[in-house]
Amino acid sequence: MSLRCVAATNRDLSQAVAQGQFREDLFYRLGQPLQVPSLSARREDIPHLAAHFIALYGNGHAPAITQEAMQRLMAHPWPDNIRGLGQVIEHALTATEDGLIEDRHLSLRPGAPLRPAAPLRKKPTSAAELELLLRDCNCDVVELSRRCGVNRKTVYRWFAKYGLEIADLRHPAPS
């Protein structure tokens, strides 16, 4: 029997092994890590990937994309990588009437950062610090957990520990 295992993570497994957070034997059985650069780092792939998604979601038709729409796709920072590109193409194909994807059919979120904020990898030591960290993450618990390198349940435990309510921070009472 031949078996292949593909595993994906956003963590540095060699660091996790060194800290005792990941089994060393499993790390070596998985083999060499494959580093895949983000879509924003390989913009030359966007036209090929867009063509793939157009063919995939085109339902047997031969849809096309205007040059302006392709330029907009190329200029977008793609913080959600290839999955986001596929979703934008799929949405654009449902929005077009004649099979031609134009700039107006693209549902790109403006203002997305080119590079996500680096993980903080620190644990807040006070209620004020936790509140400040959450505000830096636009009151997004998932983003805060990502930046701190912890599970979001841990973030909720921090709130309970310091007696803070997330809803109060998201919607402060009027002064």
Q: What is the pLDDT of residues 134-167, one digit of tens each?
A: 877 777 888 888 888 888 888 888 889 988 887 7
* pLDDT at residue number 170: 65
pLDDT tops 60 at residue 122: yes
For the stretch 68-89, pLDDT in tens is 999 999 988 888 788 889 999 9
Q: 2-10, long-range: CB within 8 Å, 24+ apart, which pairs?
A: 5/30
Would 58 be classed as within a structural domain? yes
Would 45 be classed as within a structural domain? yes
The tokens 């497994």 sit on which residue? 13
> How many domains does the chain fold into?
3
**Domain CATH code at residue 76:** 1.10.8.60
One domain, residues 52 and 99: yes
Instruction: Tokens for 173, please give them.
Output: 């009472």
* pLDDT at residue number 120: 56
Would 119 be classed as within a structural domain? no
One domain, residues 49 and 93: yes
In the structure, what pLDDT confidence band is assigned to residue 169 with cuts at 50, 70 and 90?
low
* pLDDT at residue number 143: 81
One domain, residues 43 and 100: yes
pLDDT tops 80 at residue 33: no
Domain that holds residue 100: 39-105
Would 114 be classed as within a structural domain? no
- Sequence-distant (≥ 6) Cβ neighbours of residue 108 within 8 angstroms: 72, 73, 76, 88
Would 65 be classed as within a structural domain? yes
* pLDDT at residue number 46: 93
One domain, residues 132 and 83: no
